[in-house]
Amino acid sequence: MRTTVVLVEEPGADFTFAEVELDEPRADEVLVRIVATGLCHTDLTVPTMLPAEMMPTVVGHEGTGVVEQVGADVNGIEVGDHVVLSFRSCRACGPCQAGDVGYCEQSLLLNYMGMRADGSTTMKRRRDDGESQTVFGSFFGQSSLARHALAYADNCVVVDKGLDLTRLAPFACGFQTGAGTVLNVLDPAADEPIVVFGAGAVGLAAVAAARGAGVETVVVVDPVPARRAVAEEYGAAVLDPAADPGESGGSVEERVKALTGGGAAYAIDTTAIPAVVLQAQHSLRARGLLVALGLGAPEYTIDAIDLLQSGKIVRSSIEGEADPLRTIPELVALREAGRFDVDHLVTTYPFERIADAVADAAAGVVVKPVLVWGE
């Protein structure tokens, strides 16, 4: 079938629109008409890392939509279902069998290589010279920066048809990662303070989850006033890392410790800035835990003396240890119960304004841009 996609033609290039021929769904695939797609930092960074041989490509991994066709081997999903599309996992390897689907042994192939597991691709387009050209996709098993996407039972989460799909798109990755880190990795008690570095979609989802879970003290560190203001709406204490230490009460670490009674029990970094990760480590109390979530810097500097003398832990997490088939319904239920208040973090854009969405997100004007197809 012919459909419209948002292409990246070469590494580092801007998004452009194109018509492609999308395969009919195979026996294990689900064809989804995309309603909305969240724009994630990963959609911007991964295309800059791919080799030219994997271009042009279609990314997008926070899709929501309506099922139009279902392969013969797919169970539990029907035509007309409303779905949230998340990351893929094989469901058969050791980590998957243990419930750790984010650490699937086939994760690289299923989510990042631009093709199906058997090496076939799902899209082609006709070039100006009349020749057929392969278009790489299958990004997170969806490539949902498109009007239609092929997905799978393992990354296709059925949701109530009465829910607004434009608000649920970020549950596929950004909100799932932030909230999952709090609920699945930290599981904090009410009196265990949390500090979050970076008040983007992931960081604010973590704040929303922590406050919804009853955590009494949450501190947010971010240089953008508008994002600090959003964090304050959740009841978080906020710090401007650019503030003069002499006028603001000390370094970032000192101010966090003052607000948390000697140091946070948990820290979350979403910035991927090495100096900020080090601040996060130094903001912890003894035996505190830092979870680094940001994607960007290839190396971090860790204070080994502080680590060895304090029993602190520094670790990462993939998608907040979430299994989308379980975690997304849980987060949707928390949202409906008023314990995961994230709707106001979303700003919608028509797909044709994708360049504006990218610019606004980079400038901190919006927290979470979501692209929506018109009729």
pLDDT in tens, 189-234: 999 999 999 999 999 999 999 999 999 999 999 999 999 999 999 9
Query: pLDDT value at position 295?
Result: 80
Query: pLDDT value at position 130?
Result: 78
Report whether pLDDT(181) > 80: yes
Location of structure tokens 């010279």: 129
SS3 content of the chain, % helix, strand, coil (to 5): 35, 25, 40
Q: For 19-48, how does the pLDDT look when each residue is reduced to its tens digit (9 = 90+)? A: 999 999 999 999 999 999 999 989 998 998
Region class of 44: left (phi > 0), else alpha (psi between -120 and 50), else beta? alpha
Q: For 142-176, how does the pLDDT look when each residue is reduced to its tens digit (9 = 90+)? A: 999 999 999 999 999 999 999 999 999 999 999 99
For domain 175-318, is the CATH number 1.10.4190.10?
no
Per-residue pLDDT averaged across 288-306, rounded? Answer: 92
Location of structure tokens 């058969």: 92
Query: pLDDT value at position 294?
Result: 87
User: In terms of pLDDT, which residue wins out, 97 or 364?
Assistant: 97
What CATH superfamily classification does 2-172+342-372 receive? Answer: Medium-chain alcohol dehydrogenases, catalytic domain (3.90.180.10)
Among 144, 142, 145, 123, which Cα is nearest to 134's? 123
Exposed (0-12), middle (13-18) or buried (19+): which is 297, by Cβ within 10 Å?
middle
Q: How far apart are CA 101 and CA 132, in angstroms?
A: 36
Q: For 101-129, how does the pLDDT look when each residue is reduced to its tens digit (9 = 90+)? A: 999 999 999 999 999 999 999 999 988 77
Domain boundaries, the chain: 2-172+342-372, 175-318
| Global pTM value | 0.95
- pLDDT band, very low/low/confident/very high, at 353 (cuts 50, 70, 90): very high
Identical fold at 2-172+342-372 and 175-318? no
Residue 20 CB neighbours (<10 A): 23
Residues sharing a CB contact under 8 Å with residue 158, sequence separation 6 or more, in sequence order: 76, 77, 81, 82, 83
Per-residue pLDDT averaged across 86-108, rounded? Answer: 97
Q: How far apart are CA 268 and CA 275, in angstroms?
A: 14
Q: For residue 218, what are the CA distances in angstroms to 194, 282, 294, 369?
A: 5, 16, 19, 24
Report whether pLDDT(136) > 80: yes
Among 198, 191, 342, 327, which Cα is nearest to 267's? 198
Q: What is the mean pLDDT of the chain?
A: 96
Query: pLDDT value at position 375?
Result: 67
